[in-house]
Each structure stands twice: as structure tokens, then as C-alpha cells.
Structure 1
Amino acid sequence: MNDYRYHYMFTTFDIETFDLEDFKYNSVNITAFRLVDVEDKRVSEKLAQMEKFQPIGQSILNRSGIIQAESALMFDSVYVFAKGLAALDQGHVLKPANLSCELEHPWEDGLSLYNYLNTASLHGLTGHIEFTEGRRSGFKLDLLKLKREQLQMVGQWNMGQGVNITDPAAFYESSVNNITLIVMTRAEKPYVMVREDKNLTGNSRYEGFCIDLLKSIANQVDFNYDIRLVPDHMYGVYDPESKQWNGIVRELMDKRADLAVASMTINYARESVIDFTKPFMNLGIGILFKVSESMPSRLFSFMNPLAVEIWLSMLGAYVLVSLTIWVVARFSPYEWRIPEPCCLNALEQESEPEVYENDFTLSNSFWFTIGTLMQQGSDLNPQATSTRIVGGIWWFFTLIIISSYTANLAAFLTVERMITPIENAAELAEQTEISYGTLEGGSTKTFFRDSKIGIYQKMWRFMESKRPSVFVDSYEEGIKRVLEGNYAFLMESTMLDYAVQRDCNLTQIGGLLDSKGYGIATPKGSPWRDKISLAILELQEKGTIQILYDKWWKNTGDVCNRDDKSKESKANALGVENIGGVFVVLLCGLALAIIVAVLEFCWNSRKNAQTDRQSLCSEMAEELRFAIRCHGSRQRPALKRTCSRCSPGTTYVPAALEMPHINGRTWYFHQDGHHHSHSPPAEAANPHTCCDPDEWDNVLVAEKHGL
């Protein structure tokens, strides 16, 4: 109890006769009154005379050169009595008489002597002496204050004016040198950590953010400190049942510590029993959770940008639009037109044609719609207004769908997608599969316990009723439970950042639940609070606190090298596992085309075999030989082709052109570029055999050369 926190008021007048050497350098607040003014010249002369009486003089002066108050009062009382008796002797004739202790016969001159004593006025060892109705009056007391050097007079007291302080600085010292403060803290990374070296002693055993901050503050405010760990390893929580505080708060309330420098949150309950400085760090409550596994890349990831419902709706829209444009095209007269003349002779071309065609057949309608959807267009063009309206609306639809798909595809394929069961506190409160808890005896627990917000009250009821308990005794235990899985830890954001930056398996879920700050705690009414607050503000303005934060959070060498690819600012390179499905679709499409081509080949061979009256195998063999011939003509034989623009079974050639006759034979020209003179088959008996436009080119070339 011998330090600056305690103030002692001594009622004895003999404070100067005591040895105060042990109290000077601890800055103990000692205040006392002095009745004998040893600085008065008359007093010092009388004391010097007393020292000459040996050994009686040393006993009176207590071997300190300063007379005790009792001896000084006795000296003054004898002095006053002698002076009063001398005055009585001058004015009266003293009549000595025998006195008896058994008979009450007062001395006749006693009343006169009392009156002379009451009117006495003189200066003694205890100052000016005078009486009023038998009581001393008009005296003064010197006010003394213990300083580092010695007791010094800092004021006076008298009956008329009371206390007059002549040295106010003695009670409000601007700086206290060589004061050792008891600093209470709690081991918590990275704020306070105990070194493993057993050879270290004292404050050198500790390191961390708070230790460096305390060192900077002590240098500015000018004090020494002794760091101690709180016995119960608690910050301080009020127990409503026992109505008692624990932890660091209890130590400060009982004056067993001068300061508390730790990751201690400022809140209303604590502020009501202790004092806090300005906050040196701002923070909030966050949710620590284990990093979920990345979503495995699927072969058909390119399908993810659109939901299954959208894909099915697009398929339905494709069929519906194709059927609609087919029906509208058949009903609209403007979609029917005269076919291109390919095999009509001149006289028939001049006559009114009886044949009209419509390009939008059912197959062409589906082809037109899919070509537009794939942004490739089609060789078919709507002619009627109604079909153009259908086509325009479908183009607008495909524009929006393709643009939306392209934009969302970039996000789905270039950004790593995570599977997170919870996204915020609301989702955490709505489920019961994942447990969650807080630090036992911390401000976070108090926040949920006293919160009036419905969602936080619901979370508190869950945590309080959960068995086994979801509360942990330390942050390390909470982080360990998170890494084990199926547990979320509600903790302060600064500690959360420290844990996340050192373990890539940890992450923060959602934002902060509240906003608060860390402060340095002091007992109620401590003179150090304002001084330390000013020091904290100065350190913040200079950037010292930010430098310390970077030192212990980011520059410790054990920071996790987190993969930045998961951030939206950077994209992943697409691999086979992302868009390999496109190649699968392409291969499937090619295989389907080959199968359809084979089926068409077989079907056409069967049809030609019936027309040519030969076996299917020979027909397929002939067609196959022609198909695999690489150096032959690009044109098929005319006998096996029918005009696609004419009616089936009816062929026409221009009347002006006759088939050439050479040596009595009719020459037939085939697409292979060779001429044959053998007799024509039965189907070609008519010299006016229908030919394709390309075949007519060969005929004209033959006539030009005289064949």
C-alpha cells in the first residue's frame, strides 16, 4: 500500500520526527500538519539552547533536532503559567497557603491567576499564544507534503481563513519519475506472449503487440512498470448470481494493479466499475469458420451459367417458335413463290406456271431457328410480314439469352466457386447442425447475453443450452475446434484476422456483428488515465500503432500464402475439366452426323437400286466407289439424278437443243466427263432426257467441239 495510489492524512503534529526514507521514493501521498515552525528564528534559538542540556536535551528533541509537539506544548504551557504568575505577583500580594487533597478549599488567588493566564499574549515554540474564554485561539498550523527530497510546507491553516495552499503543484504533479506501476495482463497471441526461454526474468519474459505499446506509452508518460499475468486467466465478466467481477476487472477494483494492458474490450458494464483510456484499436465480432472444399470442376461446367429451368424453357421456346414460323409461313400467301426455272422449255416458261413452292418446310423452319440461336444465320429469309415479326422477336430473344449466357459464363468458369454452408450470422442462427460458441468470460459472451436484438438472443439461447458446452477457455481452443469441423467460433475481428492470415484452412464468414474498441484499463479515478489517453492519441497520429500492428500481424514470417485466384479480381485459366464438355458435345455431334450420313447413304442406295433394277449390294458398291474416288468429276451421273425443282417423274429440256448423233449412235454424256456410244438404257430411250443444269454444261461443251 506504499505507492502513489494511496493518500494518508496524519493527525499527529510530530510527522517530522519520524524517519520517512522508505516512503519518499515510492511517491506515497502523505499529508500532515505541523504545530512547531522550526524555520522560525526564535524557535530555532530556543531549540539550540535545549540541545546544550545533556542528556535531557537529546531526549526532548528526540535526537533529531526537532522537538516533539507534546514537549513543545508543555514548554509553552509552563512559559504561559510563569508569565501569568509574574503578572499576578506584580498586582497582588500572594498569600501562600497549605493545600489539602482531602479538603476542597480553593486558593483565593486562583481565580485571579486564571484571569491573568486568559489575557496572556506571547510567542512560544508552537507559535502565537493567546486565549479566549480559557481556550487557545489565533494559532496556525503548517500544511506539510512529503516529496522526494523531504517534507515541505505547501500551505497553512488558521481558524479564520481555513486552508491556504501555497504550492498546488505538490498535489497535482505533472510528471512522476521512477514510479513503478503494476500492469495486469493476459497471455493472448499476438497481444501478449510468454517467451519460452526460462533464463529470462521480469518484463523481458513477455513480448507482443501490447508489450510494445506499453513500452512506447511508458517512454512518453515516464513511468516504470512490472507486468503480471491475471491469476484466473479472465478478462472480467460480472456474475449476476454472485454479484462479483472476476479477472482483470477484479484486480483493478481491488487496487492490486495500476493498469491493465491487454486485448480488453471497452463496454458499458466494465466502464461502470473501472476507467478506460481512449481506444488504441477498433474492432468487431466476426465468425471464424473452416474453409470449405472448392467445388469440383465438372466436365459440363459450361452449362452452369443457366439454370436447368432456363435450359428446358429454351428448348420449349425453340420448338414453339419453329412450329409457329412453319404454320405462319404456310398460311401467309407471301411466303409462296414461283420456283426457279430449271427444266421448263421456252414455251412452258412463257405460259402461266402451275407450281408454287414454300421454303419454310418443317425441317427448314427448325433449321432456321437453330441457326439463329447459334448466331450463325441461315440461307432462308422470311418474306411475309408475319414471318418477319416471328423472326425478329426470336432474334431479340436469342440476343438477350446469348449475351446473358456469355457474361455469366465468364464468372462461372474463371472464378473459383466455394461450397459454403453458411454465409452470415442469420443463416448460422437458423440452423442447428453447425455448433457455434464464444470465449468464456469475454466481452463477446457478454454481448450476446445482454443483446436485445432478436437474432442474437436466439443465438445466445442456443449457445447456453448446447451440451457439451460450446464456450472455450482460450482462442487457441476455439480455433482448434473450428479446424476439427462443424463448429463456428464467434470472436473479435483482430484475433480472427491473426488466425486467418496464419492458417489457409480458416476463413471469415460474413461481416462484423458490432463495433467496439480495445482500451487500457485503470482503477476508478486514476490520474494515469488522461495521461495515457493523450499518449495513445499521439501514437496513433504518428502511425506508431499501425506499425506495431503490421509487425505482429503481417510481418511475422508465418503468414499463410493464400491463393489469390479465388478473388474476383483475378481469373483462373480454364482447363479441360472446365470446358471439356464442349469437346464431348462436338465429338458426339460429329459421330451423329456420320451415322446420319451412313443412313442416308443406305437409304439412297436402296432407292436407286429399285429404280435401276439391280441389287442393293451392287448399287451400294457402285456408290461407294464413286464416293471414295478423289480425282474424278464432281458431278454425279445424270441418269441417277432427278430435277429437284420439277415434279417427280417429269423431266424437261429446251426444245432448241437436240441430242447429237454421231455414226448413227446417240451419245450420252455423264458427270464423269467420259462419252459413251453404247445404246442407251431403257430409261434413256427418250432423247429428251431431263438433265440437271450442271449436266447441260457438259452437253454444250460437247456440241462446241463437234461431238
Structure 2
Amino acid sequence: MIGELVRKEADLAVAPLTVTAVRERHVDMAAPFIHTGLSFITHKAGDAEESSFSLLAPFSTDMWAGLLVSFLLTALCIFLVGRISPSEWAEPRTDENRFTLLHSFWYIMGSLTLQGAGPHPKAPSGRVVSAIWWIFCVLLLACYFANFSSVMRSKSRQVSISSFEELANQDVIDYGTLEFGSTMLFFKNSNNPVYRRIYQQMERKKSFVSNMEEGVRRTQEGNFAFIGEAVSLDLAVARYCKLSRAQEVISMRAYSIAAPLGSPLMKNLSVAILELSESGELTHLREKWWASKCLGADAAHASGALQAHDLRGLFVLLGLGLGAGLLLALLELFSKAHNRAKDGKRTCCSALTSELSQRFGSAAEKDEEDGGDKSKA
């Protein structure tokens, strides 16, 4: 754009152009509309307080909530199948129901630890629910331990870097900046030994990036620090919750709008920019557009914890299995009620109601049913 202004091919360059001595010699620059400097962004390190809850780190809060709901629903399903299925509880008036609500919770807990807790379901419906829960537990534990290893390894490699000197003195993470940009030239031409060492390290590892998006992406992936102008880095931090900008800012500079030498537009542009600055409008615009979008975002997402939607297929599989088990138990009960209706010359609905009242009714209702059967006999 500067070349187009010098060649008189454009009347105005409206862009965040850094004010430099070389540019001032060849084009007119308006009053700066923003001041910034050089800084760097890194992948956000986990809080120290989270170390006390490292066992919970592989899964996010909503994931743990989903697991709790799955545990309760599966235990309830085992309890219902144990009550409904004739293969589990053939004679409610004389047999003892093995799957009470408490035992159902204990059985599900034993399955979650891959140890098991007897007695095991006998009915096909109960075995379907049990098999689906075991598959769910095996896959869930595999995901947990895989992500636990990843999270712990990530935390062990995280370092807290707050200055360029600390960045230059460590070798845990790589760092880079835009290739052939003004930031690269600053480090290349600097007489400061720390900055010179930073450039030599970037040159040796060829860690330059071709554009801002690539630098932000590599930083999000971890083990990389992207060096750039603070105002641009602040915008990236506001959009991506995993990023954090260092507090140190060096080589303060200004952004401005450029025009060809002698342009009559510069005077009015400079006055307008100064008026916006003095009225606070520029500050308001920066606060508006640079406001963080991470407020209220799940911190676990930024730490690499698995979200519930990451394993939604696993939850869908469990839900289908529980539904199939309950449906199969009801079919077993319908079959028994149908056979009893034929033997007792009753309607199917009457036999089914009798079966359900015996399985879910009170002891008084069962005694009443016993009395009714004896009187008929």
C-alpha cells in the first residue's frame, strides 16, 4: 500500500500502518489513532489450584454431570427390569426380588470399576442393559485414562513466561513471528542481546509464520509463543479462550492512516482523529470490539478436558441400550400376562394389571390378590 501511495496510484491507505521514520520520509501520516507495542501470546497455563482436583481434569463439568445422570438412569433401569421381567421375578408373591434399588446401584458401581457385583441379571432384558453398561464403562474408562495422560503431560510441559527475557532463556516452547514483517526486522536489527538471541533462535529453528492466523493456530495447539503487535494479540486473546498475552510490551509504536506527500486530506483526518481521541470515542470502540468473548466460558474447555458433546455417541449408545432393555422386559411381561389370561380365562388387560400391581403394589395389595385367587380356587 505504501508503494501505491508513493507512485500516486492511491489517494489514501486506510489500514493499521505502523508509523516509522522511513514511511514518514515518503508519505504523509495522519495523527495516530492507536498506540501499541510488541508482546507475545502463549497457550494459557492451568491454574495452580486445579492441581488438587487433577483426577477430575480429564472430563469437564458437564461431562461429569452427564456421567452422574447416566449412572442414576442405568441403576433405575436395572431396578425396573428386575421388577418387570418374569425371568428375574417370576412370582412376586413368593419369590424375593434380588434387584432392589440399593442393590441396583451397587451392581452398577461394581460394573463401573470393571469388577462386577453379583448376582447378575438372568433375564435377556437385564443382560442387554448390563452388556450395554459394561461397554459404556470400558469405552469411558479408555477415554478417561487417555485424556488423563494427555492433560498431565500438557501440564508438566507448561511454563509460566511473562517477559521476553524469560522467553529467550527457556527451551521448552518454540516461538516465532511474521516472516519479513516489521516485528522480525526489529529483533534482527536490535542491539539488545536478549532480542538478538530471540531472533537467532527463530532463525535457527525456522519458526517464522506466514500470517497472523497461522501464528494464532500454532499457539492454540500448544508449545509455541507467537510474537506480534500487542493490539492484534489482544484481539486474538479476546476471541480464543486458550490464549494469554504476556504483560510486557516493548518497542512502543503507533498506528496511523497514510496518504501521498502533500495530500490535502491529512489536515482534516488528523483533526478528526484527535477529536475522536479526546472525546473518548476511540477508547469506547476498542473496549467494544476487543471485549473478551470468553467471559462465562467453560474453563475446562480451555484446559483440554473432554466435553459431553465429544462423547455424545457413547451416551446415545447407552440410551438406546437402556431403551431396548426396558422394551424387552415389557415384552416378556406381556407374554406372561397373555399366557395367564388364557389359562385363567381372563382378559389380557386384567392379567397385565394384576402382574403390574403385584410387582409395584404394596404388600396389602399382594395379600388381597392372594385372597382373590384362593376364593376362586
TM-score (norm 2): 0.48
Greater C-alpha radius of gyration: 1
Quick one: higher RCO (CA 8 Å, sep 6+), 1 or 2? 2
More helix by share: 2
